[in-house]
Structure 1
Amino acid sequence: MSSTNTIHNILVVDDMASNRYILRSLLEEAGYQVLEAADGQQAVEAVARATPDLILMDINMPVMDGYEACRRIKQQQGLWGLPIIFISANSDVSALEQAFQAGGCDYVSKPFHQLEVLARVQNQLRLRELGRQQAKLQLYQGLFQLTAGIAHEINTPVGVGITASSLIQGAGDLLANAVKNGVLGQRLLNQQLTDIKEGTELVESSLRRVALLITRFKELTRDQKEQEARPFAVKECIQQMLQAFSPELQIARITPHFEGSEVTMTAPEPLFVDLLQELLKNSMDHAFHGNREHSITVQIAQNEGSLLLVYQDSGPGMPADKLPRLFEPFFTTMRGNANHCGLSACRIHNLVENNLRGSVNVTSPPGEGLRYEIRLPLKPVT
């Protein structure tokens, strides 16, 4: 039994009632709760109703064998880490290799030996608990770092706003006293009005930055909501997005270039559109300065069940020493600018890897701007 007082649920899957009886007896004697299934199909249905802590799965069964049942269970949302121990009288290396490839984590041999079964079950439950603890630790560490970043980013403009409001109040008090004492002159009036104007501008700038941060935080929160995956035409989607941005592109003197044939992708289309818009807005905010012609290039291709999306702008790019920090929350090369909070690239990374289950690699060839190489699965990853 595990070192904690938790009672673990174990699903035993075997087409032989005698085998299920033996395993149930020795597991219940050790303090585990046991559920049973007579074939792979029943196991898949049982897991869909209630997730056990571990599965003991026979390989050779009618209706659906253990390999297929294991694969189907692992494909269910959030169950890739569910430990499945295979049961087999076959010690053939190829059979065991196939079991591990299907997603199994260990195996026990027939006829059953009580100590072996219990040792392997306890070991897998301990490993899973350690994995959960490590995941919680990483989650807490990430949460603490993000919270500290949020506090710092909001505290800075709030502090500036408080200081500026104190200056405004001080200037107002000085003018009020001057009027009261009949000593208000043109020079003092102009000086204090200038201070009030500058203080007001600082307050407005600080509030705008706080509002921008809150908007970006809301976008990141919205991205976490589950959205339905539906088939859509990628080329058509990109062309519509570029058309929608046409006025802004013309004003900024940016010429878009698109290459690629039609590809059908099954995913939440609004998230894909958000990704495209974030890439484009990031270029417009950071890459294009000065009154000259600029360009962006979007390329798509289908490769081994994935969509390859390449996005590149003609901006100055990013220094090699700063590029590894591109996706860090609040990192920006335009620090001090109230219109940039350093969450754009972070959201791009989040949309690609967390929402669309893909991968992104960014390079900055000298004189060629930023180049994003993004791979996205054409069908949902479960």
Structure 2
Amino acid sequence: MAEILIVDDVAENLQILQLILRNEGHKVFAAISGEVALKIANEHLPTLIISDIKMPGMDGLTLCKTLKQTQRTAQIPIIFVSAERETDNIVAALEVGGVDYITKPFKPPEVLARVNTQLKLLDAHKLAVRQQLSHVMNQMVVGVAHEINTPLGAAITAVTHFEGILSQLIDAFGSETLSAEQLATGLEESKQGVELCERNLTRVAQFVKVLKEIARVERPTTPSAVNVIALLNDLKSSWSKKNISIEVRAMDANFMADRDILLTIFDNLIDNSLSHGGLSSGKAISIEVTLKEQYIEFLYYDHGQGLVDITPEEVIKPFITTKRGNSGHVGLSASVTANLIGSALGGSYQLSNRGRGLEWSIEIPLNSA
């Protein structure tokens, strides 16, 4: 059943709503003011909120506006409570983001009907999101398969040409007609063929890597205890071998998540920064970590040129990239990274461009098991 936060400055109203909802098996949090409700909402992320409109201090409308301003709580549906005669209040409540209203005095069938409607809508939304994700993943797989054909075909052509050159050189050598000029030309053409083959097979390998990451989005995760400092030290050590400097500001804390997926996410971000970010020489990539009540926030920024001629929305679209051709990038890593954060880890992300390069704000639940 659902976790529901009820907010009312009248204790009797809280008791009635608690009784109605708990009899249906729901877990209920109660708040006697908007300020208390705001704290509970951020700590527990309830499935649904039922709030009185008129309260001293922070009223229901202000509570709703405040929750809608924060990415973490913006999607929590809010049902308002109002007396039957207060139609103006109901209109105002719906205008600030309320999804429905319940009239006082409370009628248990009405309360349960309106609550159940919102819970069914939430379930339908989750199903739609899963279906959309599956559709996107399928599109990405089909797109990758299509994109692989070009470099693979070029590599096969290069190998065939290389084989023909070698056959000519071997025949000429066997018949003792091989000249120095023919040998030099054959070796030069062979070298070019090998380089062409290597470039295209490297691109194929990049696509295969992306395919593996796509598969990880939908596979079951394996959460374990992750230490923030140990995780980031491993990341720094891995990239230091490639002469990439990472500056970390973090506390010593533990949380539950799939460690391999976290490392994949950061590897993708760093790889993208190096390929697309136009990084300033001598500037380290930065990762800041903040521990919240129910989640941990990773703020990543690369001190590069930021977004140029591309929006944050376009960054995470499949096959959108500023690097094509022989760059080894296929325009999928940002999209896969976004899906790993949201689907595999149950987190959220936000991209911004505030003068210190491309920024990713990533929020991961403290227990994403």
Establish whether TM, by shorter chain, passes 0.5.
Answer: yes
Quote the offset at 1:354 in angstroms.
0.7
Q: 1:332 aligns with which of 308, 321, 327?
A: 321
Cα distance per residue 1:42-91 (max 9 Å; x no partner): xxxxxxxxxxxxxxxxx9999961051799xx99xxxxxxxxxxxxxx99
**Distance across 2 between alignment mates of 1:325 and 1:136:** 21
Is 1:258 the counterpart of 2:248? The answer is yes
Is 1:147 the counterpart of 2:138? The answer is no
Counterpart of 1:66 in 2: which secondary structure?
coil
Moved over 6 A (4+): 59-63, 128-132, 134-137
Q: Is the 8 A contact 1:208 1:338 kept in 2?
A: no
Q: Paired residue for 1:105?
A: 117
**Distance across 1 between alignment mates of 2:138 and 2:260:** 30
Q: Is the 8 A contact 2:235 2:263 kept in 1?
A: no
Quote the offset at 1:130 in angstroms.
12
Q: 2:24 aligns with which of 66, 86, 95?
A: 66
Pair 280,94 (structure 1): closer, same or farther in 2 beyond 3 Å: farther
**Distance across 2 between alignment mates of 1:130 and 1:350:** 17
Q: Is the 8 A contact 1:209 1:339 kept in 2?
A: yes
Q: Residues 45-194 of structure 1 correspond to what in structure 2 (within 5 A)?
A: 65-68=23-26, 93=106, 95=108, 98-99=111-112, 104-105=116-117, 138=132, 141-175=135-169, 184-194=178-188
Quote the offset at 1:146 in angstroms.
1.9
Pair 96,198 (structure 1): closer, same or farther in 2 beyond 3 Å: farther
Q: Which runs of 5+ in 2 are unaligned?
A: 2-16, 30-45, 48-102
Q: Paired residue for 1:212?
A: 206
TM-score normalised by length of structure 1: 0.59
Q: 1:267 aligns with which of 238, 241, 257?
A: 257
**Distance across 2 between alignment mates of 1:364 and 1:221:** 30
Pair 372,98 (structure 1): closer, same or farther in 2 beyond 3 Å: farther
Q: Residues 32-51 of structure 1 correspond to what in structure 2 (within 5 A)?
A: none
Pair 269,168 (structure 1): closer, same or farther in 2 beyond 3 Å: closer
Quote the offset at 1:293 in angstroms.
0.8
* Aligned-pair Cα RMSD in Å: 4.3
Counterpart of 1:294 in 2: which secondary structure?
coil
Counterpart of 2:26 in 1: which secondary structure?
helix
Cα distance per residue 1:206-254 (max 9 Å; x no partner): 22322232233223324533234445443x24443345336336x24x3
Pair 63,242 (structure 1): closer, same or farther in 2 beyond 3 Å: closer
**Distance across 2 between alignment mates of 1:63 and 1:308:** 33
Which residue identity does 2:205 align to in structure 1? A
Which residue identity does 1:65 align to in structure 2? N
Q: Is the 8 A contact 1:237 1:273 kept in 2?
A: no
Q: Is the 8 A contact 1:301 1:308 kept in 2?
A: yes
Cα distance per residue 1:175-203 (max 9 Å; x no partner): 46656777543323322221121112212
**Distance across 1 between alignment mates of 2:124 and 2:213:** 33
Pair 309,147 (structure 1): closer, same or farther in 2 beyond 3 Å: closer
How many residues are paired up?
A: 283
Q: Which runs of 5+ in 1 are unaligned?
A: 1-39, 41-58, 76-89, 108-123
Which residue identity does 1:163 align to in structure 2? T
**Distance across 2 between alignment mates of 1:355 and 1:136:** 12
Q: Is the 8 A contact 2:21 2:112 kept in 1?
A: no
Is 1:363 the counterpart of 2:352? The answer is yes
Is 1:295 the counterpart of 2:289? The answer is no
Q: Paired residue for 2:95?
A: none
**Distance across 2 between alignment mates of 1:296 and 1:136:** 33
Amino-acid identity (%): 25
Q: Which has the larger radius of gyration?
A: 1
Q: Is the 8 A contact 1:67 1:99 kept in 2?
A: no
Q: Paired residue for 1:377?
A: 365
